[in-house]
Amino acid sequence: MTDSAPPPRSIPGWIKVLDRVQLPALAGSHARVRHALGDSSRSLREIADLIQASPVLALSVLREANRSVNSLSEAAESLEVALSRIGLKRTEAVLARIPALEPAQIPASLRQIVVISQHASQQANGLFAARLARLWQDIHWGSLLFLSPIWTLAAAYPALFESWEHRVLAGGEPATRVEQELLGVSLLELCLAVAEHWRLPEWIVQGYHLLSGDRRRLIKALHIARDNEHPLHQQQMLDADPDLRRWLTLPSNTIVLANGLALSAHHSWSGIHSLRWQRLTGLYLQLPLATVQQLIHQQAAQSARSYPIPGTWHPAQGLLMPWDSRFQQAPAKPKPKVPDASAMDRWRTHCAQLLREPSAFSNALQLTTTARQAFTAAGMQRVLLFLADRTQSRLVTQQETLDKTAAGLTLDPTQSPLLRKLLEKPALLRLKSDNAAQYSALLPGALKERFSTENLLLRSIGTNGRVSVLVVADQNGEPFTDTALQAFEKTAQCLERALGSFSKRVR
């Protein structure tokens, strides 16, 4: 699957898509496992060791083992249990369906997220497994597969993961806003739903519950962890909160810590996110920050040696750079498109069509198509044009320049006081940094998912005192220039006159 099809916008839709994704495995690992399955002298343990060298193969076997298990049965939480449950013949059939590809043939986003998972697994094994030897299987599989819902996302829509990585990790944009824009849902909530649907190890489900729904305890622990130089004071604070102390020492937290360390180090060793996870790990292990950093650097180097995948970045490489290095840079934001002479010629042509009397249009679709073309030629890079029904109880998308999901978008003005105000009479509302907080809460969620509320134009247009069209437009979230604002308003006035001429022709 590629990212050519538009992504879904709901958790059920995403689960349906991700369930169909067939992850590819590295050809070398795939061949070794299939050869071992055909060798009767190989033990189950030897086959499990070969499979676990390929996270994709391990996930596929575990999912197959848990696919037919009912809700009352215990899910397989380790590879050996999964192999025993489905048998070698069925395992061979599962592997036969998995594409075997060379590294360069696998999407770079998928390769990269698997490297992060392997790095997390190494951190978990090195930092925690020896201390909790009885639970090493839970620690190993929980840490390795924690991000596996994202593996399928990266395989199906590589550009989405890359965009999230650059905007959230490197660019520091709010994750909630970026994920709503890219996915239509919270990434953590999606991962939780997928983990439950696939019946992944219970520690993984608990980890996503913690990150998505139990953040208060995590924030309290992070606050205590900041005081890393005073362990006695930290202990006193934990003693004062027995519930937090008990929660902090849960073994299941190790896989969240390991993945937090690996994912944050992917961008920087010294960034604020890395330091938070390092301090929290120090609080869990009761170790000073310097010791924790030495340990995680050692585990990172071991991970890079153990799991080399060509064409990927490993944070261990960053240990050779200056301490404050950033390993991925946020992409430069696209500059607002300034209409060139050719675009202005097109704009004049479209406006002339709108201004013709009698109206040159035989139906509303022709009129709104020309209007959309005029707004685009005037420099608006994203445009949604809605038509209001006769009772103004619905706004239906008539034209769009966003994506296919916006084509069927319908807004209910009764749910938004801001939309009701715009439908009372023709008006312009410009959202910018100094008023975005005031108006953002009044916007329908469907618009906030698709537009940055800091730089947005909403213009209601109509004739004879009745609003019939709402235009929503921006320049990829960038601030508007005076020229762009003037061109937008002139285009809106042309559309207003075109609606008047068209209404006379219809009569």
pLDDT tens string 55-65: 999 999 999 99
Determine if residue 392 is left, alpha or beta; phi over 0 gives left, psi from -120 to 50 gives alpha, anything else beta: left
What's the one-letter identity of residue 149? P
* 235-261 confidence digits (pLDDT tens): 899 989 999 999 998 999 999 999 999
CA 407 → CA 39, 300, 339, 385, 394, distances in Å?
55, 46, 25, 10, 15
**Of the candidates 232, 18, 312, 265, the residue with the CA atom closest to the CA atom of residue 122:** 265
Instruction: Answer for the pair 82, 61: CB distance below 8 angstroms, yes or no.
Output: yes
Strand 25-26 vs strand 100-101: parallel, antiparallel, or unpaired? Answer: parallel
Looking at the domain 341-506, which fold is it? Answer: Beta-Lactamase (3.30.450)
CA 427 → CA 418, 446, 467, 469, 499, distances in Å?
11, 21, 9, 11, 16
List CB contacts of 449: < 8 A, sequence separation 6 or more: 9, 180, 181, 184
Partnered with residue 47 across adjacent β-strands are none
Local structure of 137: helix, strand or coil: helix
| Residue 328, pLDDT score | 74
Instruction: Answer for the pair 273, 267: CB distance below 8 angstroms, yes or no.
Output: yes
Residue 1 predicted with pLDDT over 60: no
Average of per-residue pLDDT across 463-469: 85
Q: How far apart are the first and last CA of the chain?
A: 51
Instruction: Answer for the pair 142, 257: CB distance below 8 angstroms, yes or no.
Output: no
Average of per-residue pLDDT across 122-139: 92
> What percentage of the chain has pLDDT greater than the value 70?
94
List CB contacts of 175: < 8 A, sequence separation 6 or more: 168, 187
What's the one-letter identity of residue 347? W
Other beta carbons within 10 angstroms of residue 326's beta carbon come to 15
Residue 277 predicted with pLDDT over 80: yes
Structure tokens at 171: 């660019």
Task: Write a three-state SS string for 343-403.
Answer: HHHHHHHHHHHHHCCCCCCCCHHHHHHHHHHHHHHCCCCEEEEEEECCCCCCEEEEEECCC
Give counts: helices (H), strands (E), the chain: 25, 8
> What percentage of the chain has pLDDT greater than the value 90?
49
* 310-324 confidence digits (pLDDT tens): 888 999 999 999 988
Residue 2 predicted with pLDDT over 50: no
Query: Where, residue-wise, is CATH 3.30.450.40 in the chain?
Result: 341-506
Average of per-residue pLDDT across 215-238: 87
| Residue 334, pLDDT score | 55
| Residue 331, pLDDT score | 55
Average of per-residue pLDDT across 387-411: 81
Average of per-residue pLDDT across 490-504: 91
Average of per-residue pLDDT across 192-215: 92
Partnered with residue 383 across adjacent β-strands are 473
**CB-neighbour burial class of residue 135 (10 A; exposed 0-12, middle 13-18, buried 19+):** middle
CA 83 → CA 60, 382, 427, 444, distances in Å?
11, 51, 66, 49
| Residue 443, pLDDT score | 81
| Residue 70, pLDDT score | 61
Q: Which band of pLDDT confidence, cut at 50, 70 and 90, is reported for residue 329?
A: low
Q: Which band of pLDDT confidence, cut at 50, 70 and 90, is reported for residue 4?
A: very low
Top-confidence residue, 71 or 396: 396
